[in-house]
Amino acid sequence: MESRISIVIVEDDIITQSQIRSYLKKAGYEVLAAVKSAEDGWELLKQGEVDLAILDINLAGEKEGLWLAEKLNQHGKVPFIFLTAHNDKETISEAVELRPQSYLIKPFDEIVLFSAIELAMRNFAKADEKSEENILIRDSLFVKENNLLVKIKLADMVYAMSDGNYVELYVNHRKYLIRQKLNDFQKILSPDDFLRVHQRYIVNLHKLETIGTGHVLLAGQEVPVSKAYRDELMRRVRTV
């Protein structure tokens, strides 16, 4: 099923922290937590269950945002955006060396923030050769809808249908459109869980309800099965 992207804010300025939280919640993103120190941020982020972190470079306290960014790079599981009020050459140079997926210069508006989030997720996904132009991070696909990135776990997808250079994804009676050919999309799916049953369709084997002569039923919807794929389908359902 779809879910909101979870974000952690590490910012010691209460006004900026509140502004970011307001922008994110208004758009539909989930603010998992907002903390003031790098140490508290690390305690949350090291679990790897967060989708994105927004880090102020200059934090009050013993550790700064640069320290936290270095820890995240070593951990390698959470994309992050650098946030700073300083755009001097020295600050930017230090930030660039830590390879943030995106950055924000204060002050900024919500459109700039949302653009930075999408850029960060795309840049992080590009580290995986399978991602290509879609945002694929671990077991989830991030789809843009009304300027908001929606998180879809691939395991929750019922089926995918080719529509030329696009693929329609059906997830819990909702449809999402991504720009990719079905053959390429199939490469990111687990062959243990998904099967091509037609030139235009891929189904989630775990969502099968009934199998007919020329179709299967998944979540109450019929998907055609061509003769070329039927034997493999019958073989696979015996092992699922």
pLDDT tens, position by position, 158-174: 999 999 899 999 998 88
Class of domain 2-125: alpha beta
Q: Which residue has the higher pLDDT, 151 or 173?
A: 151
In this chain, the answer to whether the domains covering 2-125 and 157-237 adopt an identical fold is: no
Q: Which residue has the higher pLDDT, 128 or 92?
A: 92
Query: Is residue 186 very low, low, confident or very high in pLDDT (cuts 50, 70, 90)?
Result: very high
Question: Pick from 20, 67, 14, 19: which is nearest to 40 by CA?
Answer: 67
| Domain ranges, ordered by start, for the chain | 2-125, 157-237
User: Given this model, what pLDDT does residue 240 score?
Assistant: 59
**Position 86 pLDDT exceeds 70:** yes
In the CATH scheme, what is the code of domain 157-237?
A: 2.40.50.1020
Taking residues 76-98, what's their average pLDDT? 82
pTM of the model: 0.81
**Position 102 pLDDT exceeds 70:** yes
Query: Is residue 62 very low, low, confident or very high in pLDDT (cuts 50, 70, 90)?
Result: confident
Asked if residues 60 and 12 have their Cβ atoms less than 8 Å apart, the reply is: yes
